[in-house]
Amino acid sequence: MVPILIVVAGVLLLLLLVIVLKLSAFFSLIITSLAVGIALGMPISDVIGSIERGMGSTLGSLTMILGFGVMLGKLIADGGGVHRISTGLIRTFGMKNVQWAVVLIGFAVGIPMFYNVGFVILVPFVFAIAAQTGLPLIYVGLPMLASLSVTHGYLPPHPGPTAIGTLYNADMGLTLIYGIVVAIPAVILGGVLFSWTLKGIRPNPPAQFMQVDMPADEAVPGFWVSLLTGLLPVLLIALASGLSFVLPAGSDAATAVTFVGNPIIALLISVFVAIFTMGIARGKTMKAVMLSLEDAVRSIAMILFIIGAAGSFKEVLVDSGVGDHIATWASDLSFSPLILVWAIAAAIRVALGSATVAGLMAGGIALPLIESTQVSAELMVLATGAGSLMFSHVNDTGFWMFKEYFGLSIRDTILSWSLMESIVSIVGLIGVLLLDIYI
């Protein structure tokens, strides 16, 4: 029991460093890893070795996934693909079904982009749509942002779920398929239906946010080109996963499909396609496109360090042997490990604010549960991701972005944004538990 109490004390130390002392999450995770390793009786040299291995193993393949993902998002945004997807879906669905259009926009844009980047890109279109249709901002905006948030928490090749999936050694294709099944009701309940209950909340956004420049149609790529470019990595991964069930194992076709469906290769192919469709075909020089991609990669440097530090914390827990204690303790529990990992991720999310850090920390703590309980690794990814979205509040940058862009009070932001995040988190857990019955 003592090792588990040390882990709990380590999490409390992490909260103290981040919340009270305002230290960067990266430094806080490294300090916590050192403190927990030493407290668990590991020699200091072994603790340092665990930190190095944890960071290296976590960032190995994930670095390319993160890099290619942010490149793809940058290309689609700069090339006008986001604008084309938005306007095309709205024209197709019509004003009465505008919420379903913005949900699809959130999915299409959210999968390759970090949440904060997607938010900044999409919110101006929310304002433009609301101005053109006369619909309330919350009615238009919340479904889109719920969709964007769910892709952030549930669906590979988004960095958070991909990092957790790598940690659990989960099949990315199955995780994506299961994730879409769970995400659909979460977005409908948390984004679309919940927004209908918020008629009393009246946003008052700053004037500059309402001044949206919309490019001319001839200046942006076609709708289907934009949509397929944005969704190409998802299509490749899902297609490879589906074909793996019907192709003969070990055949040349199965090998080729597995290669193309690897998240790194799928994203690399998508980036090359986007370089042409969103760059060269739009009249941009290769040099200009490459400079834009370099800027995109620079923007994720600290995120990479934070994810790597979370991996270091995980490695210390594994190398110290505390994972065996957690597995033994969990084997005596009367409820599902899916509920446990969701609760751990939710508690860290509420305390720290960062969904990515919450997911990775919970993953490191709960990793022994997969082998000891034989639970589905893919469902563990989704349960962890769902917990990492729980009740965003004042310690989360997403909370403040929503508040300031929409011009809401803290009370109204909690009643809208925070509750929406809680709904998608709880619905996600319920969806995972239902899938667990049949898988």
The mean of the pLDDT values for the chain is 85
Question: What is the Rg, in whole angstroms, of the alpha carbon atoms belonging to the chain?
Answer: 22
pLDDT of residue 333: 65
Q: Are 70 and 294 in contact (CB under 8 A)?
A: no
pLDDT in tens, 306-355: 878 877 887 887 788 876 666 566 656 677 889 999 988 888 888 767 78
Task: Say if residue 212's pLDDT is above 60.
Answer: no
What is the residue-wise DSSP string for 77-128? HHTTHHHHHHHHHHHHH-GGGHHHHHHHHHHHHHTTS-HHHHHHHHHHHHHH
Q: Are 22 and 41 in contact (CB under 8 A)?
A: no
pLDDT in tens, 28-53: 889 999 999 999 999 999 999 999 99
> Which amino acid makes up residue 356?
T
CA angle 376, 380, 382 (to 5 degrees): 120
pLDDT in tens, 257-312: 889 888 889 889 999 999 999 999 988 999 999 998 998 888 778 878 887 887 78
pLDDT of residue 100: 92
Domain range summary for the chain, segments of one domain joined by +: 61-438
Question: Under DSSP, is residue 42 helix (H, G, I), strand (E, B) or coil?
Answer: coil
**Which residue in 82, 160, 66, 75 sits closest to 121, CA to CA?**
82
Question: Under DSSP, is residue 249 helix (H, G, I), strand (E, B) or coil?
Answer: coil
Q: CB under 8 Å to 421, separation ≥6 — which residues?
A: 149, 190, 389, 390, 391, 392
Q: Are 86 and 106 in contact (CB under 8 A)?
A: no
**Which residue in 363, 330, 325, 323 sits closest to 344, CA to CA?**
363
pLDDT of residue 330: 60
b/e 377-407 (16+ beta carbons within 10 angstroms → b): bbbbbbbbbbbbbbbbbebbebbbbbbebbb
Alpha carbon distances (Å) from 280 to 110, 218, 240, 271, 276: 24, 16, 28, 12, 5
> DSSP class of residue 248?
P
pLDDT of residue 140: 92
**Which residue in 352, 364, 338, 415 sits closest to 389, CA to CA?**
352
Residue positions counted in the chain: 439
If pLDDT is split at 50, 70 and 90, which confidence band does 73 have?
Answer: confident
